[in-house]
């Protein structure tokens, strides 16, 4: 075994097979993957399936609270879950820069395997490419997920309705600042860890609390672009307007302080371990109680979908701590590049 990944590991020949056999199969072992095909034959084709795919290019590869491997699994598991689905299978594709240390890659793969096991999903197929030095930044990971849909109709960004409460499962902004702190020696960010975690286990609890027959209108994980962008996307998809209450949005003190020093707004920072849900106002407390019962102690109602107004469709407003209101637009440009 070499200490670094060499270009011939992407040749498709013996070196590629060794990398797959000695590293990926060792950590991701399951019958579908061990069959050695270029695709996986999945059981129970009668399932209603949700599917998502995402590429992960975070820099640095390791950061407080997570790494690119954990991020890749959690990100795709969470995206599948946002359609009211139970994630079941993942694919994983790796673009590896020539010269990447074998031990670094194994640490990432091990983290992916541990996270997948914790999420009760299998990584059943994948691909590996090694590119010349300088052609990518160390390691890029693309994951695709499939899951069994539990709700009918499934929650969707175009199903927000006037009178819905907007609920978040926990504090925002930690992931963005944790990645920034890993890049730069900023002492005031040293205690901030990413919230990188799977949230799929919250979905069955929410469905049990509000019903699986469509009352859970929207689920969304506010990753890149943060809470503000995610709510804008929902408002645009559904043709509604929303009002968020700044004082109700949970933000850890350290995150709030770091944002104040850096001139950042936590509403636009990426998250990797919380979700937004929209449900009728009369079911809001049941949804919050369900989230808190699953460990989300700071779950809160943070706003509402307003009565229909064609002139305001797609808009999001923020009620500030001072009692005024201002438009809360979608993020225009990323203040923290490559956080996921």
Answer for the pair 195, 272: CB distance below 8 angstroms, yes or no: yes
pLDDT in tens, the chain (340 residues): 668 998 888 766 788 878 988 999 999 988 878 877 766 767 677 778 999 999 999 999 999 999 999 999 999 999 999 999 999 999 999 999 999 999 999 999 999 999 999 999 999 999 999 999 999 999 999 999 999 999 989 999 999 999 999 999 999 999 999 999 999 888 999 999 999 999 999 999 999 999 988 999 999 999 989 999 999 999 999 999 999 999 999 999 999 999 999 999 999 999 999 999 999 999 999 999 999 999 999 999 999 999 999 889 999 999 999 999 999 999 887 778 788 8
Q: What is the DSSP letter of 183?
A: H
254 vs 146: CA distance, rounded Å: 36
Answer for the pair 176, 81: CB distance below 8 angstroms, yes or no: no
117 vs 109: CA distance, rounded Å: 12
- Supply the pLDDT for residue 18: 87
225 vs 35: CA distance, rounded Å: 39
Q: Which residues contact residue 199 at a Cβ distance below 8 angstroms, ignoring those fewer than 6 apart? A: 78, 81, 169, 221, 273, 274, 275
- Supply the pLDDT for residue 297: 98
Answer for the pair 52, 144: CB distance below 8 angstroms, yes or no: yes
CATH number of 164-327: 3.90.650.10
- Supply the pLDDT for residue 54: 93
- Supply the pLDDT for residue 293: 98
Query: By three-state DSSP, how is residue 210 classified?
Result: helix
Q: Which residues contact residue 285 at a Cβ distance below 8 angstroms, ignoring those fewer than 6 apart? A: none
Q: Which residues contact residue 211 at a Cβ distance below 8 angstroms, ignoring those fewer than 6 apart? A: 283
- Supply the pLDDT for residue 45: 72
Q: Per DSSP, which regions of the chain are E strands?
A: 49-56, 62-63, 66-67, 85-97, 122-131, 139-149, 164-168, 218-220, 242-245, 276-280, 300-305, 316-319, 325-327
238 vs 160: CA distance, rounded Å: 6
231 vs 275: CA distance, rounded Å: 11
- Supply the pLDDT for residue 48: 86
69 vs 110: CA distance, rounded Å: 8
Residue indicated by tokens 């050695």: 36
- Tokens in use for 166? 């907007």
303 vs 125: CA distance, rounded Å: 41
- Identify whether 273 is preceded by a cis peptide bond (ω within 30 of 0): no
- Supply the pLDDT for residue 11: 64
CATH number of 7-149: 3.30.1330.10
- Identify whether 90 is preceded by a cis peptide bond (ω within 30 of 0): no
164 vs 299: CA distance, rounded Å: 16
Domain ranges for the chain: 7-149, 164-327
Integer angstrom CA distances of residue 287 from 107, 148, 235, 283: 37, 22, 20, 6
Please report which residue ranges of 186-312 form alpha helices under DSSP H: 202-210, 226-238, 253-262, 284-293
pTM given for the model: 0.93
Cα dihedral sign, 197-198-203-209: negative
Is it true that 7-149 and 164-327 share their CATH fold?
no
Answer for the pair 121, 183: CB distance below 8 angstroms, yes or no: no
- Supply the pLDDT for residue 279: 98
- Supply the pLDDT for residue 12: 67
């Amino acid at each position: 075994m070499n200490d670094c990944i060499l270009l011939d590991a992407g040749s498709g020949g013996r070196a590629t097979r060794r990398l797959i056999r000695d590293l990926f199969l060792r950590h991701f072992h399951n019958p579908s993957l061990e069959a050695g095909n270029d695709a996986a034959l999945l059981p129970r084709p009668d399932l209603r399936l949700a599917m998502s795919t995402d590429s992960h290019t975070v820099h640095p590869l390791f950061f407080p609270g997570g790494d690119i491997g954990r991020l890749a699994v959690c990100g795709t598991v969470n995206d599948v879950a946002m359609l009211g689905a139970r994630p079941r299978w993942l694919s994983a594709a790796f673009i590896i820069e020539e010269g990447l240390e074998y031990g670094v890659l194994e640490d990432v793969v091990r983290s992916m395997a541990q996270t997948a096991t914790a999420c009760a999903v299998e990584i059943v197929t994948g691909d590996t490419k090694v590119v010349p030095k300088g052609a990518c930044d160390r390691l890029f990971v693309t994951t695709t997920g499939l899951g069994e849909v539990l709700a009918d109709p499934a929650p969707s960004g175009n199903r927000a309705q006037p009178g819905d409460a907007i609920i978040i499962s926990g504090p925002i902004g930690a992931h963005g600042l944790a990645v920034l702190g890993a890049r730069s020696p900023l002492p005031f960010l040293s205690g901030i860890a990413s919230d990188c975690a799977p949230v799929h286990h919250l979905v069955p609890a929410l469905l049990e609390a509000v019903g699986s027959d469509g009352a859970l209108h929207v689920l969304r994980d506010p990753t890149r672009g943060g809470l503000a962008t995610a709510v804008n996307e929902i408002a645009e998809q559904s043709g509604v307007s929303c009002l968020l209450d700044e004082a109700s949005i949970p933000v850890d003190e350290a995150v709030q302080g770091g944002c104040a020093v850096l001139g950042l707004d936590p509403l636009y920072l990426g998250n990797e371990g919380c979700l937004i849900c929209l449900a009728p106002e009369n079911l809001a407390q049941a949804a919050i109680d369900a989230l808190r019962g699953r460990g989300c102690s700071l779950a809160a109602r943070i706003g509402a979908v307003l009565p229909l107004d064609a002139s305001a469709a797609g808009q999001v407003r923020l009620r500030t701590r001072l009692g005024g209101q201002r438009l809360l637009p979608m993020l225009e440009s990323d203040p923290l590049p490559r956080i996921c």
